[in-house]
Structure 1
Amino acid sequence: MSSIQIMAIDASGAIRFVGEVLRGATCGCFCPMCKSPLVAKQGDTNEWHFSHEASQERPECEAGAENLARSLGIEFARELAERGALVLPEYRTSAGVISAWLDRSQAVEWNAQISGPLAWREHPPKSKVVATGALDTGAAFALFVQVDDAGVPQVDDQPEHCAYGSLVVSAAWPSGTRTREDAMAILKQTVSFRWRYHLDTLGLRAAAQAAIEAEVSAVRQRTEALQRERANAAGRRWAEIGKRLERPYDVPPVLRDVGQQASPEPKPTASTLPSGTRFPAYPGHALGCNFQFFRLGADEAWVFYPMDVAFINEHVKMANVAQPLPTKLWAIAPVGGPREGWDECFPPSVGSADAELGIYWVRDHITAVTFLSPRSKGTHTANDPAEFSNR
């Protein structure tokens, strides 16, 4: 493609081509921008083109070639429209949703053609409407003619929701383009139509959008149902753990058999400690209830256990709280005793640190266990916390 000037205007303002005028300064053509006389260069070696006399081109004269290309594009569009050959491509848009549940996009397109004659405007300024009319989709229509990427068309003077698009032509021409016939043949091959906007008058995009949103809603409902089921299962699991923590010790059957044979009582072991045993490192432990061990890191482990009602009544201070004292509380205590910063390890929603006793008071065992479990590298239940020493 060449950007040389193959068009100019004559004294009447009509477009003339370099191959259709006399050679040299007698061509009678002028620059469309500065109005200076032009010379028709019709040599045997270089491309035929127009040139300013004595090379007096100005920078703004380059825009003249674009303006003439646009004018020729308007002429081409009018000829197509008069023959009923101005066929528009399908309008393409899309429907879609981006959400936490689903990302989906769907192409939507429909056919829209000019219905009836177009009203053409004389000498429309750059970026302004060239012709107006209606489409068979029921929308008003505005036609623009632009050169390459000439910017966004101006539709300020058009009705609201007016559909519009641009016939796009190029200011560069193939080598050997000299006449109007040549240029029109090239436009027929290279011109393109670019849709800018079309209201969803047929409701096709709305229908596609509704279908996608229904799919998103179904995915959301399935996901939320699965999350609820998982939460309920976790709640049932931790409720069972809580029950096991409060369950009194059972004497193993083998020891019951030995007792019935009047044999000497076996020495209590870590797994057969009698009910009533106290553990000073874990104050307030309810007699006969299990401990739950949580290993959070190489140097961090915690024990969770239910507390004795009498201990609660003796030690819990419900300052400025006008409500009955709870009869069921739990505790979280650091394995190996309190260390620096131990009282900053859990949020208030889990428990309240008691610096004097070295424990966290816990009101809701489900909240505490749910907080500890996903952070735990290992967990274990036992009657005696001594069993946790090697875990």
Structure 2
Amino acid sequence: MTPLFAALDATGALRFVSEVERGADCGCVCPVCGSSLVARQGAANEWHFAHEASLEQPECEAAALRVLRRLMLEHLQARAAAAGLGLPAFRQRVAIVRALVNLHEDVQWDVRLIGELQWQAPSEAHDPVARGRLDTGVDLHLHLHVAVDDTPPIWPECEGAQLVYRCRWPPASVLRDRRGVARYLDQQAELLWHQHPDTHGLVAGARARLETRSGQLYRNWLAMADAAGGPSHIDDIDAPPPKPLFYGPGTLPTPEQAPRYACAPDHAPNVSFTFYRLADNQSWLLYRLHSTGPTDWRSKSEKFYALAPYPRPFEGWTQALPETVGVADPFIGVIRCRSFLDAVTHLSRRTVLTRSSRDPAAFAGL
């Protein structure tokens, strides 16, 4: 629970703890439950408001967050009224990550607001605080987000564009007075795009170019691999068939003969497993899932990956990773990754040890 740094006075105005009398003489009430508060202004702890006789309700735990969101909204409205709300350029990275390729291209375009924003009175934290119209022809939904940890926000889906006014939770010294919060928002809060439809076709164009490059890389690699195997002897009827091409060195067992590992449910045959041990001592295996259909990996245009808790599921594993990484499938016991790149990026930033092997037993005890 974050201490309440500001509250409402008898007129409904927001008062900081440094602006009122000490103790019960502060004349303020909780912005959530309306109960009377006392101003704690001691020398040992950070100044804050507290409920009289500890009469706070469970929902009052979010009071400080609600107050900061109100201050962010007021700050954003004042900024828009004074100089207009300058929107950042929309940027998006388009990527293709497959067995042999890791390609990306960055696209961006400028976005401007048409007319004025229509400010809203949101009832829930995920509701937009303003709506408007963009010169790209789509509706704008403006949200507020206070990042108290690394958990990404979840916004309701919409057909238009979503813009987020975001800041991290300020240190306690900033929350002492109004000027400190205003200065913090000026320096730290930022407008970020969450989504924008591809109205200009730039994302689709970038993806098409990457697909072309990816296909060319596959064809080049296969040509080199076939050439390395010696002459094809196409005209020689009695010549033995060419050796099969495998992903990786050496001759691998057939899918039917490949070993199976219980700690990596539904893994593809002959895959390499990547082990990640995170700072919180959680351990995960990243690997490619088994695919139905032709066994020749060259015919597969899309690969699907999973994360399995290692060496076995631990309590809370289904909620241990954010939804941006993947979706839990408790039935088979894995996190189905949304993309290989997102999973690797998230884990790499938090890992303290990583190893790779075709046998998960190599990671025992790490």
Deviation at 1:130, TM superposition (A): 0.6
Deviation at 1:81, TM superposition (A): 1.4
Q: Specify every segment of 5 or more residues in structure 1 that has no aligned partner in the other structure, as ranges.
A: 240-363, 376-391
Q: Match for residue 370 of structure 1?
A: 241
Q: Which residue identity lines up with residue 53 of structure 2 in the other structure?
A: A
- Aligned counterparts of 2:25 and 2:238: Cα–Cα separation in 1: 102
Q: Match for residue 13 of structure 1?
A: 12
Deviation at 1:52, TM superposition (A): 1.5
Deviation at 1:69, TM superposition (A): 0.9
Q: Which residue identity lines up with residue 94 of structure 2 in the other structure?
A: A
Relative to structure 1, the CA distance from residue 84 to residue 220 in structure 2 (aligned partners, 3 Å threshold; closer, same or farther) is same
Q: Match for residue 268 of structure 1?
A: none
Deviation at 1:122, TM superposition (A): 2.4
Q: Which residue identity lines up with residue 215 of structure 1 in the other structure?
A: R
| 8 Å Cα contact 1:70-1:169 kept in structure 2 | no
Deviation at 1:204, TM superposition (A): 2.0
- Aligned counterparts of 2:78 and 2:106: Cα–Cα separation in 1: 33
Q: Match for residue 52 of structure 2?
A: 53
Larger Rg: 1
**Higher relative helix content:** 1
Relative to structure 1, the CA distance from residue 9 to residue 103 in structure 2 (aligned partners, 3 Å threshold; closer, same or farther) is same
Written as runs of structure 1 = structure 2, the 5 A alignment for 1:348-363 is none
Written as runs of structure 1 = structure 2, the 5 A alignment for 1:1-391 is 3-99=2-98, 102-148=101-147, 149=151, 151-155=153-157, 158=158, 160=159, 162-175=160-173, 177-220=175-218, 222=220, 233-235=231-233, 239=236, 365-366=238-239, 369-370=240-241
| 8 Å Cα contact 2:174-2:184 kept in structure 1 | no
- Aligned counterparts of 2:184 and 2:222: Cα–Cα separation in 1: 60
User: SS of 1:29's equivalent?
Assistant: coil
- Aligned counterparts of 1:221 and 1:172: Cα–Cα separation in 2: 53
Relative to structure 1, the CA distance from residue 55 to residue 98 in structure 2 (aligned partners, 3 Å threshold; closer, same or farther) is closer
Deviation at 1:123, TM superposition (A): 4.5
Q: TM-score, normalised by structure 2?
A: 0.57
Q: Which residue identity lines up with residue 185 of structure 1 in the other structure?
A: R
- Aligned counterparts of 1:99 and 1:123: Cα–Cα separation in 2: 42
- Aligned counterparts of 1:63 and 1:20: Cα–Cα separation in 2: 22
- Aligned counterparts of 1:99 and 1:52: Cα–Cα separation in 2: 56
- Aligned counterparts of 1:39 and 1:223: Cα–Cα separation in 2: 72
Deviation at 1:3, TM superposition (A): 3.9
Deviation at 1:166, TM superposition (A): 1.6
Relative to structure 1, the CA distance from residue 151 to residue 210 in structure 2 (aligned partners, 3 Å threshold; closer, same or farther) is closer
Per-residue Cα deviation, 1:195-253 (whole angstroms, up to 9, x for no partner) = 211112222222222222232344455566678888994215x73xxxxxxxxxxxxxx
Per-residue Cα deviation, 1:266-322 (whole angstroms, up to 9, x for no partner) = xxxxxxxxxxxxxxxxxxxxxxxxxxxxxxxxxxxxxxxxxxxxxxxxxxxxxxxxx
Q: TM-score, normalised by structure 1?
A: 0.54
| 8 Å Cα contact 1:47-1:176 kept in structure 2 | no
| 8 Å Cα contact 1:27-1:39 kept in structure 2 | yes
Count of residues paired in the alignment: 243
- Aligned counterparts of 1:219 and 1:178: Cα–Cα separation in 2: 58
| 8 Å Cα contact 1:133-1:141 kept in structure 2 | yes
| 8 Å Cα contact 1:127-1:153 kept in structure 2 | yes
Q: Which residue identity lines up with residue 55 of structure 2 in the other structure?
A: Q
- Aligned counterparts of 2:125 and 2:152: Cα–Cα separation in 1: 9
Relative to structure 1, the CA distance from residue 88 to residue 371 in structure 2 (aligned partners, 3 Å threshold; closer, same or farther) is closer
- Aligned counterparts of 2:152 and 2:66: Cα–Cα separation in 1: 11
- Aligned counterparts of 1:58 and 1:27: Cα–Cα separation in 2: 20
| 8 Å Cα contact 1:129-1:154 kept in structure 2 | no
